[in-house]
Structure 1
Amino acid sequence: MSIFGFKKKQEYSAKEILKQLDKCAGEFTFPMLDNGYVYPIHSKLSAYRDEKRWAIIIEVIGFNYRSGGHNGISNCLHIFGNCIKTEPGTDNANFLYITDDSTDDLTFDEEYLESLNPRAKTMMLREKEIDINHNRDFYLKKGIKLEDDDKIFVWEFMRGLEPEYNMEFEATEEEIKQRIPYDLPKIMELNEWHHPDCADSELPSKNETFKQIAKVLETGRTEFYKPTNKPNNHWKNWPDGGTL
């Protein structure tokens, strides 16, 4: 409210937000959860705003088999907004590599870097040593269908760490604040949402989730987020991811 009693004009609109998201979708820098080169593992969405600034960060943790091993496991941050420190979308600086070998053995097979080393007992996740589970029943009980009778592939192993290690998968507050203004308040955080099928040409502006999020950012009112569609961002809903 100004000193004259008139409402201060909003610095941005839902329409402008959706226009940026659509542009990134057209340039393939908006998250495509069935990316043929990346097996999806986990995802998270955070939205930030004040009267002048807005930002959306979508984290997509996955395994890119073209890189293999620890170099293939990353959290790719897709960053959008009118105050961000990079171009909207994603770039090489927004990949967070979160795993490494422990001192006991190599985590993955040396030849292809695509399956667990049967001798490996531990792995480093965010500089924290965690146990490696080779029990096939463990994965089956989590609804993870193992593709090979004699191997546990990297993406199967990583999916087996959900949900217990989701916080270690996700970006830290410091990693986020390196990419958006430090004082920009968070207004929403989602671990489940209905994501557009970008491979089928669905644009964010036509997707209920992002239309509602854009309205929340424009108004500062979280009650505008009232999804009616079931969440679909879980990896099980994107079976074509990583299958090229």
Structure 2
Amino acid sequence: MVDVGAILEQFDVAADEAVFVDLENGYYYPIDSRLHAYHDATRWALVVELIGYNPRARAVLDVLHVFGNCLTSGEPGFENGDFLSRIEDLEEVVAEQVTPIVLRGRRVSVAAKPGEPMVDVLRRILPTHRDLLLATEEELRGRIPFDVPQVLRLEEWHQPVFDDVRSSETETYRLIAQVLATGDPGRYRPTLPPNTHWSHWPDSGTL
């Protein structure tokens, strides 16, 4: 039996250790996100992808935030291996504003104006090449078992700001915890509007 309280406690501990899901990260300009929930009779796992552009590192990364009671390695949150690089020649792109870019081995043409912020160029990739930015099944299962079934996938959700509230106190993560505990995606019935689109987080990446 999977316990809701234990799930929420893990989320709170991760937030206290600054390894929980955070779209207000000052080091990354947000590009996209996706949430995956897994469950069986005794196991649960949650993998949240946050794709962002870090101008200091000149990198586009899909950062996997991994939680669960069945992790095959590491601790809840994210570790070095959870930072997945997506664009192979970004340093050249940043320096010269050249196109096309090489996105996971595929050459992708994007329109770039001289001096245009690189994150704006990168966000235009989404409509046609989102699958190349998001994680593959093998990447998603890097730290969770391959045989635990996925029961919910969210393309958008209401992401709280944790300045004055814990994840266990928020509607979003309480509902997600119920899905993880029961395996019933019908438990996810949010009343708050989604806000994971990058336009809702204008201060992210501005440190």
Shorter-normalised TM range: over 0.9
Aligned to 1:4: none
Answer yes or no: is 1:74 the counterpart of 2:38: no
Instruction: Report 1:50-199 matches (<5 A).
Output: 50-68=40-58, 72-84=59-71, 85-101=73-89, 106-109=92-95, 117-118=96-97, 120-134=98-112, 150-198=114-162
Aligned to 1:5: none
Is this contact kept in 2: 1:195–1:207, CA < 8 A? Answer: no
- Structure 1: which 5+ residue stretches go unaligned? 1-9, 110-116, 136-149
TM-score (structure 2 length as normaliser):
0.94
- Residue type matched to 2:60 in 1? I
Aligned to 1:144: none
Residues of 2 paired with 1:201 and 1:81: CA distance? 25
- Residue type matched to 2:74 in 1? T
Provide the secondary structure at the position in 2 that maps to 1:165.
Answer: helix
String of CA shifts for 1:186-207, please: whole Å, max 9, x gaps.
0000011001102x23321111
- Residue type matched to 2:161 in 1? D
TM-score (structure 1 length as normaliser):
0.80
Aligned to 2:38: 48
Is this contact kept in 1: 2:12–2:168, CA < 8 A? Answer: yes
Instruction: Report 1:4-23 matches (<5 A).
Output: 10=1, 12-23=2-13
Is this contact kept in 2: 1:36–1:242, CA < 8 A? Answer: yes
In structure 2, which of residues 185, 190, 196 is the aligned counterpart of residue 233 of structure 1?
Answer: 196
Q: CA deviation at 1:158?
A: 1.1
Is this contact kept in 1: 2:110–2:125, CA < 8 A? Answer: no
Aligned to 2:26: 36
Q: CA deviation at 1:66?
A: 2.1
- Residue type matched to 2:143 in 1? R
Is this contact kept in 2: 1:55–1:180, CA < 8 A? Answer: yes
Q: CA deviation at 1:222?
A: 1.4
Q: CA deviation at 1:132?
A: 2.2
Q: CA deviation at 1:74?
A: 0.4
Is this contact kept in 1: 2:38–2:183, CA < 8 A? Answer: no
Q: CA deviation at 1:164?
A: 2.2
String of CA shifts for 1:134-193, please: whole Å, max 9, x gaps.
25xxxxxxxxxxxxxx51222111112123222111110011222210111000000110
Aligned to 1:210: 173
Is this contact kept in 1: 2:110–2:124, CA < 8 A? Answer: no
